[in-house]
Chain A
Amino acid sequence: MRSRGTALALVLVVAAVVAQTTVFGADGVRPFGSAPNLVLLLVVVCARWLDPEPALFLGFTAGLLVDLLGSAPLGIWAMCLTVVAYLTLRVREHVADGPFVVAVGILGLTLVGQLLFVVLGTLFGLQTISDPQLPRKLVLPALYNVALAAPAFWLGAKVLRPHQRTWVGT
């Protein structure tokens, strides 16, 4: 059951990577010129349900995939999404699920993950901090992720913990 959950989470993350690079890619659905950070959202959702070690490995693997299909040096997004998975693990033990908590959590974790990328990207020579559109690139994906949190958590609950009741699904 445990390995099945991890495998399903991996499938979800791979699907998110494909959707991110196509449906929400440069020529895809991008309201106001930006798209949700689906991969980060799915890492949070999966880390909500998985055991700690698989959750960390999933964050690392998801980040590595984003690095492989992106232009950042290999490992930058892996660091960011591993941190996001770890923070989710820490938070989930202390806070009960609820619409407000989930919204604030997703907003905060998306901002932290992307801010970390900006800092690491700058340290590794990507000059991300000098991007004039930085505020938009940080804020809009975080807001979109909040908007998508309910369906994503519903999906996570269905796929990873089918018998546990939450505020968004059964």
Chain B
Amino acid sequence: MLSHGRRFDRTTALFLSLLAVAFIAATFDVRSDGGGVGGVMRDGAQLLFAPVQRAVGLVAAPFVGFVDGVSNLAGLRAENERLRREVARLEAQVRETEALERRVAELEAISGLEPPQELAAVTARIFASGASDFDQIRFLDKGKADGILPGAAVIDEHGLVGRVDRVTEHNARVRLITDPLVSVGVRVQPSNETGVVTGRGGDVLRLEMFQATEPVYEGDVVVTDGSRYPPGILVGYVTETADVVVGFVLRTSVEPAADLAEVDFVKVVVGWSPLDAGLVDGEEGVEPPPFVEPPAADR
């Protein structure tokens, strides 16, 4: 039917028209940075779909749990072994941490410093995700009414999960740190040098350090630097050792600390904003490391 005369023409014309409309919509949406008409439509769609998604999520939970359990049976033995090793490693880490905590407490007492307060946070449940494997977003069952604002850091018991990028009255959308559009200012421990961690779409992040003076090693801890998110939140661990090469950006990869595939409940930090750290109009709240002048021969 399509290949005969007028019908073919009408269908193809409609096809091309719809493509043109979609292309224009995408262009406008990119230019308005997700705001404007597109933003209103997104909020409206979320408002309409959220109750249905929550209901379906609740009804389907036993089925999903059953399928999940069955599909995981084969991997349980390996998982058990991995957890044993993890427990042993953590026990050793706890002993080291206790010793360090005592030293920190002594130093704080000597210097008269106040220990950092717990950040105010709202606990929320993830009830839906994006509609394709390429979406690095999650939807939370808390919103403006609970004090959540765009830009808020989202964490779980392991570390940084992402940041809130859209909020309605009772829902919020989180962009995960694995999203290529999310960048996080970080410090690498123990060198304490700064860098930027960016998502790559998969489950590994990219770390770039523009002023590195020391190499980073596999297993180094990466925490937020306090420029956009509260300082000291665990982001992940360096997975590959990388050396400093003068004149080049130090690049390596980081494994997120948060288990983003399994995260169910999260905390949204509501008691902190970049302003708390003195970040005003691009001014960094945390003093950046001094610029290292490259040797004359390398310029």
Chain A residues within CB distance 8 Å of chain B:
17-23, 25-31, 33-35, 37, 39, 52-53, 56-57, 59-60, 63-66, 68-79, 82-83, 86, 89-90, 93, 117-118, 120-121, 124-128, 130-134, 137, 141
A15 nearest CB across to chain B (Å): 9
Would A124 and B261 count as touching, CB distance under 8 A?
no
Q: How many residues of B contact A (CB 8 A)?
A: 65
B118 nearest CB across to chain A (Å): 27
Which segment of B13-21, B142-150, B219-227 sits at the interface? B13-21
| Contact partners of A56 in chain B: CB under 8 A | 11, 14-15, 18
CA distance A126 to B179 in the complex (A): 9
CA distance A146 to B46 in the complex (A): 30
Would B200 and A60 count as touching, CB distance under 8 A?
no
In the complex, which of the residues B63, B71, B130 has the most CB atoms of chain A within 10 Å of its own CB atom?
B130
Would B135 and A22 count as touching, CB distance under 8 A?
no
Task: Choose from B2, B38, B138, B200 the contact partner of A130 (Cβ within 8 Å).
Answer: B200
Query: Which residues of chain B from 5 to 35 have any CB-CB distance to chain A below 8 Å in the complex?
Result: 7, 10-11, 14-15, 18-19, 21-30, 34
CA distance A66 to B26 in the complex (A): 13
Would B136 and A71 count as touching, CB distance under 8 A?
yes
B259 nearest CB across to chain A (Å): 11
B164 nearest CB across to chain A (Å): 13
Task: Choose from A30, A33, A72, A83 the contact partner of B134 (Cβ within 8 Å).
Answer: A72
Question: At the interface, yes or no: B210 with Cβ under 8 Å from chain A?
Answer: no
Chain B residues within CB distance 8 Å of chain A:
1-3, 7, 10-11, 14-15, 18-19, 21-30, 34, 38, 41-42, 45-46, 49, 52-53, 56-57, 60, 63-64, 67-68, 71, 126-139, 175, 179-181, 200-204, 260-264
Please name 24 pairs of A and B residues whose Cβ atoms are closer than 8 Å in the assembled complex, sorted by A: A21-B129, A21-B130, A21-B139, A29-B63, A29-B64, A52-B1, A53-B10, A60-B21, A65-B45, A68-B46, A69-B46, A69-B131, A70-B131, A70-B134, A71-B130, A74-B25, A74-B38, A75-B24, A76-B26, A89-B2, A124-B26, A128-B134, A130-B201, A141-B133
| Contact partners of A17 in chain B: CB under 8 A | 49, 131
Pairs of residues from A and B, 10 with the lowest C-beta to C-beta distance, nearest first: A131-B201, A75-B26, A75-B25, A26-B129, A68-B45, A127-B180, A75-B22, A25-B129, A78-B22, A133-B202
B256 nearest CB across to chain A (Å): 14
Would B131 and A26 count as touching, CB distance under 8 A?
no
In the complex, which of the residues A25, A52, A131, A133 has the most CB atoms of chain B within 10 Å of its own CB atom?
A25
Known: A27-B126, A133-B201. A71 touches B137 (CB 8 A): yes
| Contact partners of A124 in chain B: CB under 8 A | 26, 30
Chain A residue with Cβ nearest B26: A75
| Contact partners of A93 in chain B: CB under 8 A | 1-3
A128 nearest CB across to chain B (Å): 6
Would B130 and A69 count as touching, CB distance under 8 A?
yes
Would B1 and A22 count as touching, CB distance under 8 A?
no
Would B22 and A69 count as touching, CB distance under 8 A?
no
Would B25 and A78 count as touching, CB distance under 8 A?
yes
A30 nearest CB across to chain B (Å): 8
CA distance A87 to B179 in the complex (A): 31
